Every structure is written in structure tokens, then in C-alpha cells.
Amino acid sequence: MRVAIGSDHAGFELKGLLCTLLDELRVEYRDFGTYAPDPVDYPDFIAPVARAVARGDYDFGIVLGGSGTGEAIVANKVRGIRCVEAADPVVARLGREHNDANVLAMGARISGVEVARACVREFLSAEFQDGRHVQRIEKIARIEAEEARA
């Protein structure tokens, strides 16, 4: 499993802690930045993570900011990305199981470190459940294709 991870300045510290978790889990990852706690514009760091996942260079992405909301919005602008914003491990797991989410967004100002670690564990260990969910993912892909042509 390969994971792309990125953050803005608000998610910088949490990103470091989650990189430690990825090391503990023996998950290969690439840190797309930011590399300092100085204020930055989150799209500059989140879009490259999402693009790398969409290209297939990485299996999953993790994007972090203050709330996680802007990060989820940016990631979901990239064709082929299904980003779930989670402040709870159950939501992170269901995002994978029901929506085949390939990017997890979290807010460092919203979730504590242990909750964030639990979200990552659940997200990375969950599997898409197929079945009735497949037609929904296919509908999302059709909407995405229609919007790309518009």
C-alpha cells in the first residue's frame, strides 16, 4: 500500500504525527508538504496529493488542514477522487466501505491526535463492499464525466 499525504500549515503538526503512524504501520508514503508551519494556501499542497492518487501513483491520500473542509473540497475537484472528510473513525471506515473513498480529509483543529490516528487506521484497513454500492460509484463517475464535458 502506498499513501500520499499533504497538509497546509494548520495540519502540519498532525501530518508529522500521522507520518509516524504510517511508519509504525509499515505503510509506504510520500509527504507532499507543507514542510513548515508557516501560513500557506492549502490548494498548493492538497491538489498534488489528489492528482497523484488519481494517476494511480498512490493507493490512497490523506489531506489535512484546520477543519479538513477546504482540503476535501480541493481533493474532490480532481477527477477520480472520492474524498471523505472524517472527524470520526466510523465515518472514515464507511467512506471506504460505501463510497470507495480514496482520500481521507481531516481537520487538526477538529480531531484530537488519537481520533485522527484511529480514522487513518480505519480508513486504510477498510475495504470497499461492492454490491449495491457499485452502482452509486458508477453514477458518481458519470456525473464527473458529464461535468468534464460541460
Backbone angles phi, psi at 45, to 5 degrees: -110, -25
Cα–Cα distance list, 14 to 55, 68, 108, 139 (Å): 26, 12, 6, 34
9 assigned to active site = no
Active-site choice (9, 28, 85, 98): 98
Q: What are the residues facing 31 on neighbouring strands?
A: 5
Q: What are the residues facing 29 on neighbouring strands?
A: 3
d(CA 72, CA 90): 17
98 assigned to active site = yes
Active-site choice (9, 71, 85, 122): 71
Q: Any idea which residues carry the catalytic annotation?
A: 71, 98
